[in-house]
Amino acid sequence: MKSKTKLPKPSIKLPGIFKGNLKGKDRYETLENYSILTIFVGAILFSLGTVLTIFSPQGIPAVLAMLGSLFAFVATVVWILSLLVKEFFGE
């Protein structure tokens, strides 16, 4: 006889401050919460890269600033698209 065992769902492990706070009522709100968190992370990376360019305008600080702005931009686009999908296809 084969026994059916269910595998646990993969979950993202976040620090305790975010535990349970990012889960929304439905998947659209959860996506919104994650994209807002990613916007904040991108803004922090961008700010850190901008401040570090005071010491060296080349290398890691410039890459940090570019990656931060890319993260914030992509997360903003995902956030807007999730709002539109929620509005048109959500319950």
> What is the spatial distance between Cα 54 and Cα 51, in angstroms, rounded to a whole number?
6
In a domain, 3, yes or no: no
In a domain, 69, yes or no: yes
User: Tell me: the pLDDT tens digits for 56-75?
Assistant: 888 888 888 899 999 999 99
Domain count, the chain: 1
In a domain, 77, yes or no: yes
**This model's pTM is above 0.85:** no
Structure tokens at 9: 């769902």
pLDDT of residue 90: 73
| 68: CB partners within 8 A, 6+ apart | 41, 42, 43, 44, 45, 46, 47, 48, 49
- The DSSP secondary-structure symbol of 74 reads H
Give the pLDDT mean for 45-59: 88
> What is the spatial distance between Cα 77 and Cα 11, in angstroms, rounded to a whole number?
24
Which residues constitute the domain of residue 64?
30-89
In a domain, 52, yes or no: yes
Give the pLDDT mean for 29-39: 87
Query: How many residues comprise the chain?
Result: 91
pLDDT of residue 14: 59
pLDDT of residue 29: 83
Give the pLDDT mean for 9-24: 62
| 63: CB partners within 8 A, 6+ apart | 49
Give the rounded percent of residues in the chain with a pLDDT score beyond 90. 26
